[in-house]
Amino acid sequence: MVEIFDAIKKSAIRIKWLIENEDASYSQNINATGDTQLKLDIKSDLIIEEEFKKISSVKEIISEEKENKTPIYENGKYLVGYDPLDGSSLLDVNFSVGSIFGIYKNAYDGKHMIAAVYVIYGPVTQMVTAYEDVGMYKLNEDGDFAFIKSLELKDSGLINASGGTHTGWSKKHHNLIEEIYERGARLRYSGGMVPDLHQILLKGGGLFSYPSTSDTPKGKLRMVFEVFPFAFIFEKAGGEAIDGKRRLLDLIPMHPHDTTPCYFGSKKEIELVLKHNE
């Protein structure tokens, strides 16, 4: 596992350089989920592929930016699903973006998830890993990621971040969000799941949701590259992650690019989600 974390660190340092120095415009290509790729989405993906190709414990990888899986070492133990540059459409407005990794054994689902990692490229670059516990690291000027602290969610928090077109929200979702605000929550939504979920983890609690909407009935966020890694991290940090009713890590994707509605939060907020979805 150490060598996988090392490959992620090396990729992150290279991607940070790209973000700061390279052209953030769109390419002519469309990815498997129908998004037009930025040149940086493609380059970040290639960097990660290049770094994982050096790691003999990696059997196979699959990226949000590629339709198909890429075999690496036949005798490798781990499968890695990753989103090379999450929130890349926010690069032009200079918001934080991230890279997300799910490390699996045998199959790309929650039962087979071994570890999850994300990197956030903000005013500073940080990395959060969930393996035995959840730890946050900061990239220093000497190129090392120094351990900062362990992350743990409180039982409840007053940050609310809900995505999806409001006019497409169900009545249930409107009622849920209304109750959350009535309890004193504040809106904190950047439109990048990495900074939005990072904020909830760092501030100790709250709720992030990307529900089923009339325009995206299965939500927008992708299970293998985005949802399972964060579900794993939230559970390890003492929170919960559900699709409205079921635990996200119990879902089995039919296709690596499948999406699901998702709710990540501290225990009390997830209780509310369940109450509104009864």
* 163 touching ligand AHG, by CB under 6 A: yes
At 51, give phi and psi (nearest 5°). Answer: -70, -40
According to CB under 6 A, which one of 19, 61, 180, 193 is a site residue for ligand AHG? Answer: 193
Beta bridge partners of 263: 209, 242
Three-class secondary structure of residue 254 per DSSP: coil
235 is catalytic: no
* 272 touching ligand AHG, by CB under 6 A: no
259 and 220 in contact (C-beta within 8 Å)?
A: yes
Structure tokens at 221: 């966020």
Q: Which does 191 bind (CB under 5 to 8 A by kind): ligand AHG, Mn ion, none?
A: ligand AHG
* 196 touching Mn ion, by CB under 5 A: no
Number of residues interacting with Mn ion: please give it, by CB under 5 A: 4
Q: Which does 71 bind (CB under 5 to 8 A by kind): ligand AHG, Mn ion, none?
A: none
> Smallest distance, Å, CB 52 to ligand AHG?
18
Which C-beta is closer to ligand AHG: that of 77 or that of 203?
A: 203
- Within residues 211-250, the interface with ligand AHG by CB under 6 A covers 220
277 exposure class (CB count in 10 Å sphere: 0-12, 13-18, 19+): middle
The residues, any chain, with a CB within 8 Å of residue 141's CB and separated by 6 or more, are: none
The packing angle between helices 171-182 and 267-276, to 10°, is 140
The residues, any chain, with a CB within 8 Å of residue 218's CB and separated by 6 or more, are: 212, 258, 259, 260, 261
121 and 169 in contact (C-beta within 8 Å)?
A: no
Three-class secondary structure of residue 175 per DSSP: helix
**Choices 148-156, 188-196, 227-235, 263-271 (CB under 6 A): range interacting with ligand AHG:** 188-196
86 is catalytic: yes
Which C-beta is closer to ligand AHG: that of 86 or that of 109?
A: 86
239 and 264 in contact (C-beta within 8 Å)?
A: yes
Number of residues interacting with ligand AHG: please give it, by CB under 6 A: 12
Which C-beta is closer to Mn ion: that of 4 or that of 85?
A: 85
Active-site position among 45, 49, 60, 64: 64
* 87 touching ligand AHG, by CB under 6 A: yes
According to CB under 6 A, which one of 3, 6, 22, 35 is a site residue for ligand AHG? Answer: 35
* 235 touching Mn ion, by CB under 5 A: no
For residue 189, the one-letter residue type is Y
CA 35 to chain centre: 17
> Smallest distance, Å, CB 98 to Mn ion?
8
Binding site residues, ligand AHG, CB under 6 A:
35, 64, 83, 86-89, 163, 191-193, 220
Catalytic residues: 35, 41, 64-65, 83, 85-86, 226
